[in-house]
Amino acid sequence: MAQVKLAVIYYSSTGTVHGMAGRLAQAGEKAGAEVRLRQVAELAPPEAIAANAGWSQHFDATRNEPRATPDDIVWADAVLFGTPTRYGNVASQLKQFIDTLGPQWSKGLLADKAYAGFTASMTEHGGQESTLLALYNTIYHWGGVVVAPGYTDQLKFVDGNPYGVSHVTGGNNDTPLGDAQLAALDHLAERIVKIAAKLSRVE
Ligand SMILES: Cc1cc2nc3c(=O)[nH]c(=O)nc-3n(C[C@H](O)[C@H](O)[C@H](O)COP(=O)(O)O)c2cc1C
């Protein structure tokens, strides 16, 4: 069977979602996929970035990493989108990238693929679920297949998010990913690769 193509497309200001994306890419490769790991472009004004030490540091450290293009989504059989939670919603940087995909959408090039999402927020009830559900609105419009992790493995009862994978960064925005989140990220990558392989199987 041909190798599943997995795109991990994300935005991250201060590195949390970046770390989650890297783990998903590794797990996707382990599951046998060909992986593209891509950040979307930063759109915030330089003065906003400069005012936050963690943001400036992450921006400088990742400025030469590959940027997402529309072709990355068209190429993929499976797409994992990552975004920090912004007022319970998708970050504008990721949304802006998504909003450039009208030409691909109108040609049906975004349909019939497997999609899922991952996010981080500062607080436990800070809107992770609403962020993932908002992200999935776009997938329905594309005719994509949302591959929610659900409670399809015992480990999902530990991280506790059936909508995707999420992490709480804490008040100082510096709580590292724990075993539960790492296991949930590995599970999401394995699951989407498995489902994408089933979706593209020739009958
Ligand atoms: C403008 C803005 C809005 C935010 N909104 C929320 C929120 O609604 N709930 C929450 O818990 N955290 C919120 N946060 C905190 C971020 O979600 C958190 O810092 C982020 O997940 C860290 O991800 P990153 O390190 O990849 O940038 C917000 C942060 C910013 C800058």
Q: Label residue 16 exposed, middle or buried (CB < 10 Å: 0-12, 13-18, 19+).
A: buried
Q: Cα torsion at 44, 47, 52, 56 (round to 10°)?
A: 70
Q: Which domains occur in the chain, in start order?
A: 5-199 (3.40.50.360)
Q: Which atom of ligand 1 is nearest to the CA of 88?
A: 8
pLDDT band at 203 (very low <50, low <70, confident <90, very high): very low
Determine if ligand 1 sits within 6 Å of the CB of residue 169.
Answer: yes
Q: Is the Cβ atom of 32 under 6 angstroms away from ligand 1?
A: no
**Main-chain dihedrals φ then ψ at residue 167, nearest 5 degrees:** -140, 140
Question: Looking at residue 2, what is its pLDDT?
Answer: 83
Residue with the bigger pLDDT between 203 and 72: it is 72
20 CA to middle of ligand 1, Å?
Answer: 15
Q: Which atom of ligand 1 is nearest to the CA of 87?
A: 8
pLDDT number for residue 1: 59
Pair of tokens at residue 107: 């040609």
CA distance 79 to 35: 10
Nearest CA to ligand 1 atom 31: 86
- Beta carbon of 120 within 6 Å of any ligand 1 atom: yes
Place of tokens 């059936």: 162
Strand partners, 10: 39, 82
The CA-based diameter of the chain, rounded to the nearest angstrom, is 55
Q: Evaluate whether 122 touches 166 at the Cβ level (below 8 Å).
A: no
Answer whether residue 107 shows pLDDT above 60.
yes
